[in-house]
């Protein structure tokens, strides 16, 4: 039995991922005139996550109600735009065979869902009283979401620049 499992000389091992017929099928299909929607939409939640932290910090520094109000709007829009960006990314993940078969694409999905749940919590927590929510927990959640959005964005960038996922191969 043990001898049967020993690889015979010259025999090639097959990687079922590399051998998959859709492995090289990695072009973006969720887009407008060939421009990928996910890449276009992620800028909004990324920027708004930073804005939420910035508004919280300015409220802490100045005590101005304006900044607490700005923070709840930034937190809410970060979450809603994040959901929209997540929808375009999920469609790409599920519909493009060469993206779907690669483990790093699924890792990005897991990190992004963590981010979306933190963004949702940050907004939901403020709905009961947006001024009282800022210190200390609002700004702590905002600080944490800044860290997670950086990891998510960096990892998404790796999918594009290292693995060339969601790109066009040209005509």
SS3 assignment, position 36:
strand
Place of tokens 């017929």: 21
Residues in CB range of 128: below 8 A, 6 or more apart: none
Any contact of residue 89 with ligand HEM (CB under 6 A)? Answer: yes
Q: How far is the CB of 27 from ligand HEM (least distance, A)?
A: 9
Residues in CB range of 81: below 8 A, 6 or more apart: 41, 44, 45, 48
SS3 assignment, position 162:
coil
Any contact of residue 55 with ligand HEM (CB under 6 A)? Answer: no
User: 55, 71, 75, 105: which one contacts ligand HEM (CB under 6 A)?
Assistant: 105
Any contact of residue 101 with ligand HEM (CB under 6 A)? Answer: no
Any contact of residue 86 with ligand HEM (CB under 6 A)? Answer: yes
Query: Is the omega angle on the peptide bond into residue 136 within 30 degrees of 0, that is, cis?
Result: yes
Any contact of residue 42 with ligand HEM (CB under 6 A)? Answer: yes
Tokens linked to 96: 């493009």
Any contact of residue 118 with ligand HEM (CB under 6 A)? Answer: no
Any contact of residue 45 with ligand HEM (CB under 6 A)? Answer: yes
CA angle 53, 58, 62 (to 5 degrees): 155
CB burial of 71-92 (b: ≥16 within 10 Å; e: otherwise) equals: bbbbbbbbbbbbeebbebbeeb
Site string for ligand HEM, 140-169 (x = CB under 6 A): ---------x--xx--xx-xx----xx---
Place of tokens 């001898």: 3
Q: How far is the CB of 88 from ligand HEM (least distance, A)?
A: 7
Q: How far is the CB of 18 from ligand HEM (least distance, A)?
A: 19
Any contact of residue 98 with ligand HEM (CB under 6 A)? Answer: no
Positions touching ligand HEM (CB under 6 A) are: 28, 36, 38-39, 42, 45-46, 82, 85-86, 89-90, 92-93, 99, 105, 108-109, 112-113, 115-116, 149, 152-153, 156-157, 159-160, 165-166
């Amino acid at each position: 039995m043990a001898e049967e499992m020993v690889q015979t000389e010259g025999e090639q091992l097959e990687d079922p991922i590399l051998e998959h017929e859709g492995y090289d099928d990695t072009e973006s299909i969720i887009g407008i005139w060939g421009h990928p929607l996910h890449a276009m939409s992620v800028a909004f939640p990324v920027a708004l996550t930073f804005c939420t932290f910035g508004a919280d910090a300015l409220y802490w520094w100045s005590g101005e109600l304006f900044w607490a109000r700005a923070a709840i709007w930034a937190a809410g829009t970060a979450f809603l735009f994040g959901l929209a960006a997540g929808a375009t990314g999920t469609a790409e993940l599920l519909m493009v065979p060469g993206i779907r078969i690669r483990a790093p694409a699924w890792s990005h999905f897991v990190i992004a869902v963590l981010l979306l749940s933190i963004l949702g919590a940050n907004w939901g927590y403020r709905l009961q009283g947006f001024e009282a929510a800022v210190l200390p927990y609002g700004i702590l959640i905002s600080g944490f979401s800044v860290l997670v959005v950086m990891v998510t964005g960096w990892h998404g960038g790796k999918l594009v620049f290292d693995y060339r996922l969601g790109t066009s191969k040209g005509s």
